[in-house]
Amino acid sequence: MSENVKKWYVLRAIGGKEKKVKEYIENEIANAGLQDYVSQILIPTEKVYQIRNGKKISKERNFFPGYVLVEACLVGEIPHMLKNIPNVIGFLGDTKSGDPVPMRQSEVYRILGRVDEMAESGEEMNIPFVVGETVKVIDGPFNGFNGIIEKINEEKKKLEVMVKIFGRKTPLELSFMQVEKE
pTM to 2 decimal places: 0.59
Q: Are residues 160 and 116 in the same domain?
A: no
Largest CA distance in the chain: 78
Please state the length of the chain.
Answer: 182
Count of domains observed in the chain:
2
pLDDT at position 5: 81
Q: Residue 160's domain is classified under what CATH number? A: 2.30.30.30
pLDDT digits (tens, 9 = 90+) for 15-40: 889 999 999 999 999 998 888 888 88
pLDDT at position 95: 63
What average pLDDT does the segment 54-58 reach? 74
Asked if the structure places residue 143 within a domain, the reply is yes
pLDDT at position 74: 87
What average pLDDT does the segment 130-153 reach? 90
Q: Are residues 94 and 60 in the same domain?
A: yes
pLDDT at position 1: 43
Q: Are residues 93 and 162 in the same domain?
A: no
Q: Are residues 152 and 75 in the same domain?
A: no
Asked if the structure places residue 1 within a domain, the reply is no
Q: Are residues 138 and 111 in the same domain?
A: no
pLDDT at position 122: 52
Q: Quote the percentage of the chain above a pLDDT of 70.
A: 86
Asked if the structure places residue 64 within a domain, the reply is yes
- Per DSSP, the three-state class of 8 is strand
Q: Are residues 171 and 100 in the same domain?
A: no
pLDDT at position 156: 82
Q: Are residues 14 and 92 in the same domain?
A: yes
pLDDT digits (tens, 9 = 90+) for 92-115: 876 666 678 888 888 888 887 777
Q: Are residues 151 and 117 in the same domain?
A: no
Domain region containing 175: 134-181
- State the CB neighbour count (10 A cutoff) for residue 45: 17
Asked if the structure places residue 34 within a domain, the reply is yes
